[in-house]
Structures are given as C-alpha cells and as structure tokens.
Amino acid sequence: MTNNPFERSALHTDAATEDGGAGTSAANRSEVEWREILSPEEYSVLREAGTERPFSGEYWDEFSSGTYSCRACGAELFTADTKFDARCGWPSFFAPLAEDRVRYIKDSSLGMERIEVQCAQCHSHLGHVFEGEGLGTPTDLRYCMNSVSLAFTPEN
Ligand SMILES: [Zn+2]
C-alpha cells in the first residue's frame, strides 16, 4: 500500500461505495442527524464539501503545539508538528497524523482534477491535498484543510 495520496485516491472514486457497513456509528449517521449535531457552517463544509473563505477560519494562523481532530466525530487527524505556513489562508499540513486517519477521493468538480481529503472515520469533508508545490516541506504535499472541519486541542 502506498502512502502517496495521488495513488491511493485511485482506490476511491465514489464516497458512497466504501466500507460496506464496517464503519463506526459516526460513519453511519444520517444527514438529518448531522444537521442536528453541526452548525450550518460546519454542515456545509463537512457534509456538503463546501469551502470556508480564506483567512476567515480559526486556525490558518494557529501555530501552537497540539492536535487537530475532526469537528464532526472527534477522530484525531493532524498534529501541529506537521502544520506549516502556506500563506494560503487555510490551515495547511504536510502529512496526516497517520495515513489511516484520512481517505482520499478523486474530485473532478469545478473543472479541476483534485484529491479530496475526508475523515476516515465519519467520511466528512476536510479539504484537498496538493503536491509538488515546492513549499519546502518534507513530503511536498499540502493538506489544505478547512478550519471549520477541525477542532484544535492545545498541548497541556
Ligand atoms: Zn470525522
């Protein structure tokens, strides 16, 4: 199994075909339940793959030590150790906390070929991953996430 998201995304072309009921209660929640749990802004990003406006979120300029979890289900997704300042207005990481925390979906919307990143546990939308931008990170990947998809827990 490769860790490269651009190869792994070939495994998933449709968010609905995965897992066959192996999942947790979070993955099986109905959209009606998500609407009750999440705020309207959280719902539009996490469940409808919306995008928050750049430089508007809570975490694009947050660089304290700590852990970023899924806003929808609480799964730990990223640590501050892999966060970097991409100057794009969204929280950016060069790697997930572990490869099994996220999953990759080919996204051909907006006339572009992109790789969507979802929470592996609840399949909520987090953002997209880009490669080869030359930003000087160890992986040359940029996990461009929405602040509203994440919940930050500072260390200590
Ligand atoms: Zn989740």
pLDDT on residue 12:
58
How far is ligand 1, taken at its centre, from the CA of residue 110, in Å? 24
How far is the C-alpha of 150 from the C-alpha of 11, rounded, in Å?
Answer: 25
Of 85, 91, 63, nearest in space to 154 by CA: 63
Of 120, 122, 103, 101, nearest in space to 27 by CA: 122
pLDDT digits (tens, 9 = 90+) for 140-153: 999 999 999 999 99
pLDDT digits (tens, 9 = 90+) for 44-74: 999 999 999 999 999 999 999 999 999 999 9
How far is ligand 1, taken at its centre, from the CA of residue 38, in Å? 12
Listed as ranges, residues in the chain with pLDDT below 50 are: 15-23
What's phi and psi for 52, nearest 5 deg? -70, 155
Predicted TM-score (pTM) of this structure? 0.87
Does the annotation count 119 as an active-site position? Answer: no
How far is ligand 1, taken at its centre, from the CA of residue 150, in Å? 9
Q: Which of 70, 119, 122, 144 is catalytic?
A: 144
